[in-house]
A and B are shown apart, each in its own frame.
Chain A
Amino acid sequence: MIDPAWAWSPYEPDKNGWTRRQAAHLFRRAGFAASSDELDKAISQKPNEVVSSLVNSRPETDQYQQEISDLARSILASSNVKNLPAWWTYRFLTTNDPLREKTTLFWHGHFATSGDKVTDAKLMFQQNEMLREHALGDFGAMVHEISHDPAMLIYLDSATNRKAHPNENFAREVMELFCLGEGQYTENDIRELSRCFTGWEIRNGKFRFNRYQHDSGEKSIMGQKGKYGGEEGVKIVLDQKSAPYFIVGKLVRYFVSDEPAPSNALLKPLADQFVNGNYQIGPIISKILSSHLFYSEHSVGHKVRSPIEFAVGFLRTLNGSTNLNELTSGMSELGQIPFFPPNVKGWDGGRTWINSSTLLARANLIRSLLDRTETRFNPGSLGDFMDHLGAKTPAKVVDLWEELYLAVDLPQEVKSQIANKIEAGKGNREQKLRDALHLFCTLPEFQLS
């Protein structure tokens, strides 16, 4: 039983307590892992300062934003939704505002919408931009936006909604998946809420309200009665007691640990703050990332790396770059492609990432990346980069990898075996290093975050 008061109180390390290892943990969770330089910068600040700048500042330069939007423009010009994942992966890999991307990815899984069904790249992209804008902002505003979002409504077969046959799909997801969770509502609530959304339509990729099809009669939702429209319906759902618990619970699972599911008692302080703070997301994430719980044994090493964290983290940690179209197409075998969640529930995460097929795909993805000529580190050879970072002996290389990549310590014997590969493996030095890194990435510890 974890004490909530202790759990959410700010983590204050002693003098030597704030280490590169801990900063690496923060960046694995709050972003897509950090390079050695980023860690040095982080430990020169206090942990709460680092978190505060992650949550509050928007450090992407205008030039970077321009570069990203030029890339997007080019992708959208192809009108092929399958090209979008590479674009987002580029952003995961290069942004200096990683928490925003990480949280946008969270909302993308929460408000799952798949390009497989929507097929219109532009609509998927617009939704993505919307999620990014609100990622650390107002949850209520985001739900409001998503309920008008063309991609979402198309995905849920709710592009038309006539008063004679209210479409329950969207109403159901608003309660079950977006705000409350299963078991917090009745089938009648869904029917009534769906009446609020009648007349909401998508025409030519745009939302419009068709007043002729809107059911303007009285509805009864969650014990409240009135001639509600869609916005008011959403408001009623958001005002339910279970809503803040549902959302902060998911955030805790995303940022702290996959299992066990956090108890309501543990979530209460966060849920209260969420309600009192008018559903502002940033402060909640800030609190989570600065907490005792976050840096405790309940958190460190207690998440399975998602495929995106795995692939992007692999590169980001060593300032890597590669063919991103290949990388993202390879990621389908790992079980996660951004813009293509498997179903309305999004990605379950945790242990479901892991099976024979995905584990072999993980090992093979790293192998193929290491074998590609486009794969560069900082941007050059792995050997030169290791030298640059001062890891001149095999043992030091393995120590560095462990420090940068792993949440859980490796057994000493395993470390020496890997060092031995660098020392006495086959091929030239670069090949030996790359083979050793491949070996390193197949370890069970590497799959944990």
Chain B
Amino acid sequence: MKTSQVLLSTLLLFGLLTPSNAAETASELLPPSTLLYAEIKDPSATVSSFLDHPYYAQLQELEPYQELLKQPQYLQGMFGLRMIEAQLGMTWRQAVTALSAGGVTVAFDPATEGFAVLFKGENEENLNKVVSKVIEFARKDAENKGNDDPYEINEYRGVEVYMAKNGGFLTHGNWLIAGNKSELGKQLIDALLDGREDSFASNSEFQNVRQNVDDSAIAWAFLNLEPLRQAEDEKLQQLFSGKSDNPAAELLFGGVLETLTGASHVSASLNAQGNGVALNFQLPHDPDSVPELREHFFGPKGAGQAAQLQQIPDMLFGLTAYRNVSEMWLRSGDLFNEQVNDGLAQADSNLSTFFSGKDFGEDILGVLTPQMQIIAARQTYSEDQPIPAIKIPAFALVAEMEDPETTTREFRRIFHSFIGFFNVIGAMNGQPQFELGFDKFEGGDFVSARPVPLEGEETGSDAKINFNFSPTIAFSGSRLVISSATGLARSIATAERPTSESSSTEKMNTQMELNAPQLQLALEDNRSHLIAQNMLNDGHTREEAEQQIGILLEALKLFEQADLSLSTDDSSLKIEFGIELNE
């Protein structure tokens, strides 16, 4: 405490001697101890680009949106808004510009435990006009309700600070600053008046990140991880421990946890991109320092790379990843705690039973290369087969075999005994039986199993959910496709394989894409069930349920694709999440 006070007074003294200079960015005002820095570059431009976008117009065309406009709450809100606009003498969009043309920054400083929001306005005059109006409204409102004046005015070095219940705000020049801790507030005022020699802006990592922020970024953020890593919070310690203690979590983001153990900071940015937006996260990452324990995720020396995603017509979902699942399974003793390992030992016993006595880790997982893909597609049904009432998309695992000759034989046999096993169990539970089929195509062959309808139920559109499944295994050279339905297996096995681009230093670890039009169709296939579920889950009447599902299905039509990727290069790990709107 003492030292910081000394430091502060020294700074003050120093500041008094330096000529006052207007800060360009919020980072120049903030203390070096700032933990989180997030900036929206130009809020009014962002709002405009959304509201002026043709999609917004399209959205407004939707029936439910029109319904919303007729709601009394909406009308009341609009009336209120127009009143305020009249008082301000400007539209609300102009008011946003006045307040934040130079950007809005949110920051947290753990030294003072203070949050601050810094608005850089268009100019001093317009900024003050809006702020004073807002203060006036608040005071009038309090008066009307018979409450006390909501603000108490304090002064610090000639700057008026409006103090409210949970914090305060002030204006100076074209800055509007709000915060919750007076300690931080004073520092910010000092910096506004005197400038600041040692500010957050001089943090070299921060500078680095800031320089690399793309022009297209709408907003971006920087989070210093070191203080979080030192914090005594149990959850944070768990997060930075590098342990997942959960096989599913390990498989999904074990590598990210690994990177988090050493990364100094994380940065994020939200970018407008083509017809959509993308959210990027970036962490410093050193591929050479990946420990053996996490080679299942990044590969030896971090060199693992996912296969190029196999494309098929009308794909619903695709995922390609580098994951050495066998190695993860075998290393589970070091990756997880005793309870998880106890569970895995039991799973191992069960799975080995299931796989006719094969060792699950070595004989099943171990014969595939770490390049895995999962692909899903909507199914089409033929009229001369029972059509299931609930239509589930088909999904498939695509992998490469280390030793195709042996593995093809092994897996073919395992598949046979699998189907036999299902048939025995199914017969006991009155489920449809599977009939095995064999087929060849250019460069490979299939073994498929088709559910056999009961006598008298050979066609019809209300068949059991089982009729979504015709498990199929396809072999073609070193490629193995295990699919829930024959159609998808065929379409993958016969599709043209992407030529692998041996790319630069960037290694794609995981890539996922979801195609909205196909998702829309898959849901549309089940519209009546979605309506039924909505009635039971939300207590809606049929009309209400029909309307709600209608909105969902309509709204989905606005989207084209969502994708998620995880990649590394020599110095960083990137996670990118993008949403693309329909053309």
Contact = CB atoms under 8 A, between A and B. Distances in A.
A and B touch in the complex (CB under 8 A): yes
Contacts of A71: 532, 535-536
Nearest to A321: B539
A104 to B, nearest CB: 19
A119 to B, nearest CB: 7
A79 B539 contact: no
Given A120-B430, A204-B430, A205-B430, A77 B539 contact: no
A77 B540 CA distance: 20
A67 B541 CA distance: 10
Contacts of B462: 73, 76-77
A239 interface: no
A90 B541 CA distance: 10
Given A76-B389, A204-B454, A67 B536 contact: no
Interface string A55-77: 00000000000010011011111
Contact of A323 (B429, B430, B537, B541): B537
Interface string A86-104: 1100100000000000000
Contact of A74 (B388, B430, B529, B539): B529
Given A74-B528, A204-B430, A90 B389 contact: no
Nearest to A119: B429
A78 interface: yes
A324 B465 contact: no
A69 B254 CA distance: 48
B309 interface: no
A67 to B, nearest CB: 5
Contact of A77 (B454, B465, B536, B541): B465
A338 to B, nearest CB: 14
A160 interface: no
A161 to B, nearest CB: 18
B504 to A, nearest CB: 49
Contacts of B535: 71, 90
B536 A70 contact: no
Contacts of B389: 73-74, 76-77
A426 B236 CA distance: 36
A248 B454 CA distance: 42
A322 interface: yes
Interface in A307-356: 320-326
B146 to A, nearest CB: 18
Interface string B522-539: 000000110111011111
Interface in B504-530: 528-529
A205 B531 CA distance: 29
A376 interface: yes
Contacts of B528: 70, 73-74
A185 to B, nearest CB: 33
A362 B334 CA distance: 47
A79 B465 contact: yes
B429 A74 contact: no
A74 B533 contact: yes
Interface string B132-152: 000000000000000000000
A375 B539 CA distance: 7
B544 to A, nearest CB: 8
A77 B538 contact: no
A374 interface: yes
Interface of B: 388-390, 429-430, 454, 462, 464-466, 528-529, 531-533, 535-542
26 contacts: A67-B542, A70-B532, A71-B535, A71-B536, A73-B389, A74-B390, A74-B528, A76-B462, A77-B388, A77-B390, A77-B462, A77-B529, A78-B465, A119-B429, A120-B430, A323-B536, A323-B537, A323-B539, A324-B536, A324-B539, A325-B536, A374-B537, A374-B539, A375-B539, A376-B539, A379-B541
The 3 closest A-B pairs by CB, nearest first: A77-B389, A321-B539, A74-B532
Given A77-B529, A86-B536, A376-B539, 19 more contacts: A67-B542, A71-B532, A71-B536, A73-B528, A74-B390, A74-B531, A74-B533, A75-B532, A76-B389, A77-B464, A77-B465, A78-B465, A79-B464, A320-B539, A321-B539, A323-B538, A324-B539, A325-B537, A374-B537
